[in-house]
Structure 1
Amino acid sequence: MRVTKIGAGIVLAAAIMLTGCSAPAAEEPKDDTSTSTTEETTAPSSDCPELTEGATVDGTELGTCITEAMTDTEGYAAKMTVLGMETTAQYDPATEAVAWSTPMGSVVVIGDDAWVKSSTSEWQVADANSSDPIVAGLSQAAATANEADPAVAAAGLSGEFTVTGTGSRLGQDVYILTGTMEQDGVSVDMTYEVTPDYVVLATTGATEAAGQSIETSLEITEWDAKQDIVAPI
């Protein structure tokens, strides 16, 4: 599709709203170990409820448990699909670093510093006011890249989630939690696939805005694996 500054902003908004803190009925989880790590996850420090089929979990409590569980990690990588566009992402909690690679270009954020690169340009400091609409759109994405991190976005969860089934991801058992939440007046259907220790290994989300269906998905491809994210310039 033709991507403009506005188009890039829509993609970003959808990623933030749906990838981390929302999701719809998803396909059955598949057993994918091609890039997996089989290390056991660390249980959250708080008194999180035990997940069992049929159980209900308050969205706020679920979000707290997810955030705590995903903080103690070397890092992780993910594959996201937003409005049909695939993005790969890397996260390094220790350095507050995020790296995105999309068909539009790439983004690196380390702390308060951000750099972007379109498919036809060199790396440059992020500039949301750039005359290049792709650079401007990527710079907008860089400004809020952390918000699409499932560990960060989970803090905005609300409503009630029900454990509707089980499956397997990255060689680990997962519980499938589904629910609906209201976000900025919009109803969002969500599904989370989490380990017994509340690590999110996949999410899907669906909503409708201005008559358009918006769907996203996120799949963790590497968990508890150091991600080498460095300043490109």
Structure 2
Amino acid sequence: MRVNKWGVGVMLAAAVVLTGCSAGSEKPADEKPAAGAEETTAPESDCPELSDGATVDGAALGTCITEAMTDTAGYAAKTSILGMDTTARYNPGTDAVETITPMGSLIVIGDDAWVKSATSEWQVADPNSSDPIIAALSSGAQTAADTDPATAAGALTGEFTVTGTGTRLGQDVYLLSGTSEAQGVAVDVVFEVTSDYVVLATTGTTEAAGQTVETSLEITEWDAEQDIVAPL
């Protein structure tokens, strides 16, 4: 895919769709438990107990995920969108997000945002930049928080069914499959969630700009503080 403003925009938009609604791949054989992976806290609300064949309303599922993933020191994730790998780190305590894509990086801390392309230095985000990559990254920075699984889950719709089980980061997970709608776009998605509703991986398929967009997300580090600082 050509590296232009549309390409960056689709990558960032797909990341939002992915984390709001997506499915898990199989656990690599050499995967090691992440720090704090076994210390998740159950949601306070009355979330249904997960079991094989159980169904969960999408809105209820989103609430349970948000509550379960809010009380954490931080986490890191790896995504694959349109065959391109992206990494992200989240620090809820400082309201900070860092995203690194093949075309550039962005850091958002509260209301402040900075971006850099693969060939530029860090600069304050500017959606009106004459550089299409900087402009696209800057626009993506405005919605970077939406790529946080804890935030994006709030937009889930539809119904999800437990279709299997597996393991991820040393924990047992349930596979919840369903179709959710994001901004009028249907997304076929599977979540890998722990019994207390922490999302550890997702994958999804949807159509965007006339092409099939396949996405996957894997939490690589859970409940570990992420040191995200302003680059300028």
TM-score, shorter chain, exceeding 0.5 = yes
The percent of aligned pairs where both chains have the same amino acid is: 68
- Which of 14, 18, 27 is matched with 2:25 structurally? 27
Cα distance in 2 for residues equivalent to 1:152 and 1:59: 14
Determine if the alignment matches structure 1 residue 9 to structure 2 residue 9: yes
SS at match of 2:63: helix
Task: Please say if residues 25 and 202 of structure 2, whose CA atoms lie closer than 8 Å, have aligned partners that are also in contact.
Answer: no
The Cα of 1:208 is off from its aligned counterpart by 1.8
Determine if the alignment matches structure 1 residue 51 to structure 2 residue 50: yes
Cα distance in 2 for residues equivalent to 1:49 and 1:72: 20
User: Mapping of 1:123-138 within 5 angstroms?
Assistant: 123-138=122-137
Q: Which runs of 5+ in 1 are unaligned?
A: none
The Cα of 1:56 is off from its aligned counterpart by 0.4
Matched AA of 1:27: S
Determine if the alignment matches structure 1 residue 172 to structure 2 residue 171: yes
SS at match of 1:13: helix
Deviation sequence 1:153-208 (CA, Å, 0-9, x none) = 00000110000111111101111000012333322101000001100000111012
Report the TM-score when normalising by structure 2.
Answer: 0.95
Determine if the alignment matches structure 1 residue 105 to structure 2 residue 114: no
Cα distance in 1 for residues equivalent to 2:105 and 2:181: 31
Matched AA of 1:137: A
The Cα of 1:28 is off from its aligned counterpart by 3.3
Cα distance in 2 for residues equivalent to 1:181 and 1:52: 21
User: Mapping of 1:197-212 within 5 angstroms?
Assistant: 197-212=196-211
SS at match of 1:87: strand
Report the TM-score when normalising by structure 1.
Answer: 0.94
User: Mapping of 1:186-201 within 5 angstroms?
Assistant: 186-201=185-200
Task: Please say if residues 31 and 171 of structure 1, whose CA atoms lie closer than 8 Å, have aligned partners that are also in contact.
Answer: no
The change in CA–CA distance for 1:32 and 1:202 in structure 2 (over 3 A counts) is: farther
Size of the alignment, in residue pairs? Answer: 231
The Cα of 1:209 is off from its aligned counterpart by 3.3
Q: In the alignment, what sits opposite 1:226?
A: 225
